[in-house]
A and B are shown apart, each in its own frame.
Chain A
Amino acid sequence: MNKKIIIAALFLFVPVVAFGQDSLPPQLTIKDINGGYIRLSQYRGKVVLVNFWATWCPPCRAEIPDLIRLQRDYRSRGLQVIGITYPPQKLVDVRRFARGAKVNYPIGLGNKKTKLLFTPNETLPMTIVIGTDGRIRDIIEGILLPEEFEQKIKPLLK
């Protein structure tokens, strides 16, 4: 009887751990907009911000200049931004937008499966914060506010 309860509890607990903070991020490899691949594992040791966004989403577009600035200003302290479009978008649209905005970090084309690797939450934009140890430190829903960067991301940097 006790064994059954423990097994049932484990089934309930596992999805929460999989999507929660301090869990290991998935092995992610996706195509980028320049014909190459983005592998999450290649950024191990850096603080990685995986930013889910869409070209048609006003807050996503509004925060891109801030992400560009953060990438530029904090690259030397180990910050790496990765943009992943979600829901699926045409490569030509994403490439045009990224070039126009002069995005200085890699952008990959995502889909529902990509998003579900991190979270079932559908909010846009959505930023997954991964620490230098490779663990998910935070999931920031909506536009990244300056105070959130100061409190949740900056302390993780070198």
Chain B
Amino acid sequence: MKRKSLVSATAVFLIIAFTSIGALAITKTSTIRVDGMKCSKCSGSVEKALKATPGVEKVEISLDRKEAVVEYDDQKVTEAKLREVINATGFKAVEAKPDSQ
């Protein structure tokens, strides 16, 4: 009986612990202006490189607004790293505006 209670208590503790860890992982959205991104044939590289970055969940590229809207897990990747990834594709990430937290 005592052992059963201990197992139940452990299970409850683990559920709470995992739920808390999940709650800490916040999906952040950043809109990053990408200078020089005007060619539809070559802008795919920005999306490809961002999507291959661990922690990035969603990427939307707008050629009209010359920007990348990136949803990411800020526990795994930073906004600065996202700009680095964009710069490595030959374009220039000029600023990042946090939309939500």
- Tell me the A residues contacting B by CB distance below 8 Å: 56-63, 122-125, 141-143, 145, 147
Q: A58-B36, A62-B88 are in contact. Are A143 and B48 (CB under 8 A)?
A: yes
B98 in contact (CB, < 8 A): no
Among the listed B42, B46, B48, B52, which residue makes an inter-chain contact with A60, where contact means beta carbons less than 8 Å apart? B42
Among the listed A58, A61, A145, which residue makes an inter-chain contact with B48, where contact means beta carbons less than 8 Å apart? A145
B89 in contact (CB, < 8 A): yes
Among the listed A61, A63, A122, A147, which residue makes an inter-chain contact with B41, where contact means beta carbons less than 8 Å apart? A122
Q: A58-B89, A58-B90, A59-B89 are in contact. Are A143 and B49 (CB under 8 A)?
A: yes
Residues of B within 8 A of A60 (CB): 42, 90
Q: A58-B90, A142-B48, A143-B49 are in contact. Are A124 and B41 (CB under 8 A)?
A: yes
- Tell me the B residues contacting A by CB distance below 8 Å: 36-37, 39, 41-42, 44-49, 52, 88-91
> Which of A58, A143, A145 is the most central at the interface, judged by chain B CB atoms within 10 Å of its CB?
A58
* A58 & B52 in contact (Cβ 8 Å cutoff): no
Smallest beta-carbon distance A115→chain B, Å: 11
* A62 & B89 in contact (Cβ 8 Å cutoff): yes
Among the listed B37, B41, B44, B90, which residue makes an inter-chain contact with A62, where contact means beta carbons less than 8 Å apart? B90
* B44 & A123 in contact (Cβ 8 Å cutoff): yes
> Which of A59, A60, A122, A141 is the most central at the interface, judged by chain B CB atoms within 10 Å of its CB?
A59
* A142 & B90 in contact (Cβ 8 Å cutoff): no
Complex formed: what's the CA distance from A142 to B49 in Å? 9
Smallest beta-carbon distance B32→chain A, Å: 15
Complex formed: what's the CA distance from A122 to B42 in Å? 9
Chain A residue at minimum C-beta to C-beta distance from B37: A58
Residues of A within 8 A of B39 (CB): 56-58, 124
Complex formed: what's the CA distance from A123 to B45 in Å? 9
